[in-house]
Copies of this chain bind each other. A is one copy, B any other.
Amino acid sequence: MMTPKQVQQPTIMDVAARAGVSTATVSRAINQSGPVRPGTSEAVWKAIRELDYQPNVAARGLASRRTHTIGLLLPGIGGEFFAALLRGIEHSLVESRYNLLVHSTFPQNYTATPFTRALGEHNSDGLLVFTGSLQDHELHRLSKSGLPMILLYCSSPPGLKIPSVVVENRKGTVQLITHLIQVHNRKRIVFLRGPDNHEDSTERETGYWEALALNGIKPDTDLIGHGDFSSSEASKAIHNMMDRGIVFDAVFAADDEAASGVLQALHQRCVPVPDKVSVVGFDNSSLASHLTPPLTTVDARIEQTGYVAVTKLIELIELGTTSPVSILPSHLVIRRSCGCEAAPDSGD
């Protein structure tokens, strides 16, 4: 393994020498961390420009213990979610002049040695932790170390009080299911669960039961299947139900991805949507409006989640505190797949 042969970059000493001042003065001029006479400052900046000097981030971080960077921890994915989330994060970041590091946590590597861990913790002033990207004991360790963190799409594990940003899953689901029942007169509504232990999924399930109860509909566990937030799993689940002769007039998939699988399965079985069966999802991901028929779903405010999370994290870093939990109100996005007529699509 070769050591990369990089050209020697100019250092702060080169700048100091060229400007005829000390390194301390250069540092002050750059960071405005102390008084510098205007003329001196000007000379420093001139030298910086002439040398095309760039401070070394590692040295800076080591000395000042601040990186002016926040880290985003994601489980090893590249889902539809990512794009929208990133958009929100960026938007917020641009305003605050922080930098962003996205660390993908490859769970496979996690066990190798403690040193294959993502380096975020030492490389950033704070962390945005997407649900599922960190094991609980890691969360404990980081939390104990005092690293500012914000949890995305899940609430703080018991024993810790890490601020979080979550979406109103339950209420959104109740609205959605109630719409199916009251507007479209559906009574046998399938629910396709997401992954086990996934907070969003369990809350959506709670919302499902609650909506049925509120509307006086008798629950039927036959109608519960496993979609696993996956198109193919959801498709299988629907085929399976139909094979077993289970009758239903609507399907609520725990996310849009699963809903797309449902649509596919129903299409293959020549079941007309929404005429015979209504299909709805959750997230309002970029998929939703492109499906056939366009999917009625609940907007999970992905972009805004990113935005708010960054705001909170920076509060935490700079002020030392932020509100414990931000709940983003979700809202219904009505399209065709529930049985409504094509409405002006306000969901994009």
Tell me if A's interface is mostly helix, strand, loop or mixed.
mixed
Q: Which residues of B are found within 8 Å of A82, using beta-carbon distances?
A: 78, 82-83, 86
Which residue in B48, B80, B103, B115 is a CB contact (below 8 Å) of A30? B115
A79 in the interface (beta carbon within 8 A):
yes
Question: Measured between alpha carbons, how far is A141 from B106 in the docked complex, in Å?
Answer: 32
Closest residue of chain B to A290 (Cβ to Cβ) is B290
Question: Measured between alpha carbons, how far is A83 from B290 in the docked complex, in Å?
Answer: 18
Which A276-335 residues have a C-beta within 8 angstroms of B?
286-287, 290-292, 317-320
Question: Measured between alpha carbons, how far is A115 from B29 in the docked complex, in Å?
Answer: 12
B83 touches A80 (CB 8 A): yes
A104 in the interface (beta carbon within 8 A):
yes
Copies of the polypeptide in the assembly: 2
Least CB distance from A341 to B in Å reads: 15
Q: Which residues of B are found within 8 Å of A290, using beta-carbon distances?
A: 260, 287, 290-292
Closest residue of chain B to A320 (Cβ to Cβ) is B2
Which residue in B3, B78, B260 is a CB contact (below 8 Å) of A85? B78
The segment out of A55-63, A128-136, A206-214 that lies at the interface is A55-63
Question: Measured between alpha carbons, how far is A144 from B92 in the docked complex, in Å?
Answer: 33
